[in-house]
Chains A and B, each alone.
Chain A
Amino acid sequence: MEKSLKKYFPVFVLPTLIAFVIAFVIPFIMGIYLSFTKFTTVTDSKWVGIKNYVTAFSNKDFLHALIFTTYFAVISVVSINILAFLVAYFLTRGIKGSYFFRTLFFMPNLIGGIVLGYIWQVIFNGVLYRFDMTLTSNAQNGFWGLVILMNWQMIGYMMVIYIAGFQNIPRDLIDAAKVDGVTPLTAMRHVTLPLMMPSITINLFLTLTNSFKLFDQNLALTAGAPAKQTQMLALDIYNTFYSRMGWEGVGQAKAVIFFIIVAAISLTQLYLTRRKEVDA
C-alpha cells in the first residue's frame, strides 16, 4: 500500500508543506538570522554579532517585563489551578445542576482576549473610581486586574480537564479507601492526587505557557500603562518592533529569547510532571 500511496505526495502533502514553509519555516530561520543583524526591512540586514542580545539584556523595559511576566505567571498558575481543581471536585459529586455550572464556567474561555480585556476594563475602572483611582493609576492595579481576568478566562478551561481527570478515577479505588477507614483528606492525598497527576501536568503546562505568552489581554486591559510598568514580554517585543525606530534587530533578539524561555518551560514542565504520573 505504501508504494501506491507514495506517488500522491503532491496532492496530500504539498499544499500543507508549502504553507508551512511560508508561514513558519522561513520566518523562523530568518528570525534567528536577523537577531544577529541590524535591519529595518528584512532585506537590508547587516551582521552585528551578539550586539542585539547585549542590548536586549541591558534594556530596562525588557528586564522589567520579564520579572513582571514571571510574577504574573506564578500567581496565575497557582490561583487558576487551585480554584479549577476545587470547582471540578465539587462538580463531580453528583450535585444538582452540575452540568449547567460546568457549561457556564467554561464560557469565558471562548471569548477572545481583546473583548475580554475591554469588558474587564469597564468593571475595574468602575470599582476603582470609588477610590479615586483607575486601572492604570499604578502598576499594582494593572497587575491584579490581569490576574483576575486570567482567572476568569482560564478557570473554566482547566476545570473541564480536571473534571475529565476525576471521571477517569476508578470508583472502586475511592470506595476501597473508604472501607479501609481512610479520612477524606488522606484519600485525597494518597489516592486522588496521584491519579490526577496527568491532568495536573497538562493544566500546569497550559496555564504557564498561556500566562507567559499573554498578549491580547495585556494590550486591551492596560496596554502596558502606566509608563510600561504593566507591560508583559510579548507586548514589550511588539513595542520594540513597531514603536521604536532602528530597534528591529533588538526586537528580534528579544523574540528569540522569548521563544527559548517558552520552549524551555514547556519541555521542563512536561519532563518534571510526567515522572510523577501513576497508572490507574
Chain B
Amino acid sequence: MNGENVIRRHTTVKNSVIFGILTVFSLIFVAPILIVFMNSFKDKLHISDTPFTFPTPETYVRLDNYITGIVNIGFINAFGWSLFITLSSVAVILLCTSMTAWYITRVKNKFNSLLYYILVFSMVVPFQMVMFTLSKFANILHLDNPLGIIVIYLGFGAGMSTFLFCGFIRSIPIEIEEAAMIDGCNAIQLYFRVIFAMLKPITITVAILNAMWIWNDYLLPYLLIGSDYKTIPIAIQYLQGGYGSIDMGAMMAMLVLAVIPIIVFYAICQKYIIEGVVAGAVKG
C-alpha cells in the first residue's frame, strides 16, 4: 500500500515536470505567430528594430497596416484566387483520381498496371525536375490561367491521390459491386451510388493532403499565372520582390491575414486533418 503511494507520487511529480516542459515548448511554438500579430499593429519603421515590444502610443498605428494590405496589395483578390484554385482543383482531383483508381484496380491488364507504376513513380519526382518544361508546355497549351491550372494540379497530384485511393479500394470486398451489377447497375451508376460513398474515409484524407499542398503552393502558380493572378503566397512574396525596402507593416498584416484562415479551418476540422495526414504518411 505504502509502496504504491510512493510510486504514484513519483509518477505525479514526473508528470508535472513533463507538463511543465510541454507548456514551455508550446509557448515557443505559438510565440512567432503572436509576435507577428503584435507587430501588425505597429508602425513599419519600428518593426525591424524592436519586434519584441508591445506597440507604444507612438508606434501604434491601429489598423493602418491591414488597410494597406487589403487595399493596396489586394489581399481580398489573392484570398479569392487561392480559395477558387484550391477548392476546384481538390474537387476535380477527388472525382477523377478516385474513378481512375477504382477502374485500374478492378480491370486488370498490362496497360493499367503500367499506368499505376508510372503514377507511383511520379511521387518521387521533385517539382524542379519538370518545372521548366511544364511551365513552357502549359503556356503552349494555354493552360496558364486559373482554369487551366486545375488540369495541371490534377496531373501533378494524380500520383499520390490515385495511389491512396487504390490502396483503399483493394480492401473493399468485390462482392458488393458484383451484386449491384447483377441488379442491373451500369458502371457509372454503380460508382456514384455505391462506391463513392464507401470511399469516404480515404476521400477525406486525399482532400486534406491536396488542399494543404495547393493552398500553400507557391512556385507552380507563380510560374503559370503569377503575373496576372496572385494567390496568397505569391502576393506575400511579391511584397519582397521589388528592390529597396519592404513595407514591413503591410507584411505583418498580410502574414496575419494569411494565417487566420488556416487557423480557423484547423480549429473546425483538426481531428480529420491530423488523422488524414497520419493516414497519408503511413500509406505513402
* A31 adjacent to chain B (CB < 8 Å): yes
Beta-carbon contact of A42 and B133 below 8 Å = yes
Bound: A42/B282 CA distance, A: 38
Beta-carbon contact of B103 and A8 below 8 Å = yes
CB-defined interface of A98-116 with B at 8 Å, one 1/0 digit per residue?
Answer: 0001111111111111110
- Min CB–CB distance B250 → chain A (angstroms): 11
Stretch at the interface among A49-57, A251-259, A271-279: A251-259
* A68 adjacent to chain B (CB < 8 Å): no
Stretch at the interface among A21-29, A138-146, A169-177: A21-29
Beta-carbon contact of A27 and B134 below 8 Å = yes
- Min CB–CB distance B241 → chain A (angstroms): 10
Q: Which residues of B contact A185 (CB under 8 A)?
A: none
Bound: A5/B188 CA distance, A: 9
- Min CB–CB distance B36 → chain A (angstroms): 5
Bound: A123/B48 CA distance, A: 9
B-facing residues in A211-260 (Cβ within 8 Å): 212-213, 215-216, 219-220, 223, 233-234, 237-238, 241, 248, 251-252, 255-256, 258-259
Q: Which residues of A contact B48 (CB under 8 A)?
A: 122, 125-126, 129
| Contact residues on A (Cβ < 8 Å of other chain), bracket | 35 or more
Q: Which residues of B contact A267 (CB under 8 A)?
A: 124
Closest B residue to A90 by beta carbon equals B18
A-facing residues in B121-146 (Cβ within 8 Å): 122, 124-134, 136-138, 141, 143
A-facing residues in B25-83 (Cβ within 8 Å): 25-26, 29-33, 35-36, 39, 47-52
Query: Known contacts A111-B262, A255-B132: does B158 contact A24 (CB below 8 Å)?
Result: yes
Query: Known contacts A11-B99, A19-B151, A238-B131: does B218 contact A216 (CB below 8 Å)?
Result: yes
Q: Which of A2, A118, A234 has the most CB of B within 10 A?
A: A118
Closest A residue to B49 by beta carbon equals A129
CB < 8 Å: which of A6, A114, A256 contacts B237?
A: A114
* A202 adjacent to chain B (CB < 8 Å): yes
Query: Known contacts A2-B108, A16-B99: does B240 contact A31 (CB below 8 Å)?
Result: no
Query: Known contacts A106-B274, A215-B219: does B236 contact A114 (CB below 8 Å)?
Result: yes
Beta-carbon contact of B270 and A103 below 8 Å = yes
Closest B residue to A206 by beta carbon equals B281
Query: Known contacts A19-B96, A96-B19: does B263 contact A107 (CB below 8 Å)?
Result: yes
Q: Which residues of A contact B151 (CB under 8 A)?
A: 19, 22-23
Beta-carbon contact of A21 and B155 below 8 Å = yes
| Contact residues on B (Cβ < 8 Å of other chain), bracket | 35 or more
Q: Which of B33, B97, B138, B278 has the most CB of A within 10 A?
A: B278
Q: Which residues of A contact B26 (CB under 8 A)?
A: 101, 104-105
B-facing residues in A124-175 (Cβ within 8 Å): 125-126, 129, 152, 156-157, 160-161, 164
A-facing residues in B190-236 (Cβ within 8 Å): 191, 212, 215-219, 232-233, 236
Beta-carbon contact of B100 and A31 below 8 Å = no
CB-defined interface of B249-265 with A at 8 Å, one 1/0 digit per residue?
Answer: 00110010011001101
CB < 8 Å: which of B129, B255, B265 contacts A259?
A: B129
Query: Known contacts A24-B155, A107-B29: does B131 contact A115 (CB below 8 Å)?
Result: no
Bound: A217/B229 CA distance, A: 22
* A82 adjacent to chain B (CB < 8 Å): no
Beta-carbon contact of A90 and B21 below 8 Å = yes
* A20 adjacent to chain B (CB < 8 Å): yes
CB < 8 Å: which of A5, A91, A223 contacts B187?
A: A5
Q: Which residues of A contact B252 (CB under 8 A)?
A: 122
Beta-carbon contact of B159 and A17 below 8 Å = no
* A60 adjacent to chain B (CB < 8 Å): no
Beta-carbon contact of B132 and A263 below 8 Å = no
* B6 adjacent to chain A (CB < 8 Å): no
Q: Which residues of A contact B248 (CB under 8 A)?
A: 122
Bound: A232/B259 CA distance, A: 26
Beta-carbon contact of B155 and A22 below 8 Å = yes
Bound: A93/B11 CA distance, A: 10
Bound: A122/B158 CA distance, A: 37
Q: Which residues of B contact A160 (CB under 8 A)?
A: 274, 277-278
Q: Which residues of B contact A70 (CB under 8 A)?
A: none
Beta-carbon contact of A252 and B132 below 8 Å = yes
Q: Which residues of A contact B141 (CB under 8 A)?
A: 22
- Min CB–CB distance B225 → chain A (angstroms): 14
- Min CB–CB distance B271 → chain A (angstroms): 9
CB < 8 Å: which of A34, A198, A234 contacts B133?
A: A34
Given contact pairs A5-B107, A22-B137, enumerate 4 new A-B contacts (beta carbons under 8 Å).
A19-B96, A20-B122, A42-B136, A101-B25
Interface residues of chain A, those whose CB is within 8 Å of chain B, are 1-2, 4-6, 8-9, 11-13, 15-28, 30-31, 34, 41-42, 87, 90-91, 93, 95-97, 101-115, 118-120, 122-123, 125-126, 129, 152, 156-157, 160-161, 164, 198, 202, 206, 212-213, 215-216, 219-220, 223, 233-234, 237-238, 241, 248, 251-252, 255-256, 258-259, 262-263, 266-267
* 10 CB-based A-B contacts, threshold 8 Å: A13-B100, A23-B156, A24-B125, A28-B122, A107-B266, A114-B236, A119-B259, A122-B35, A122-B51, A206-B281
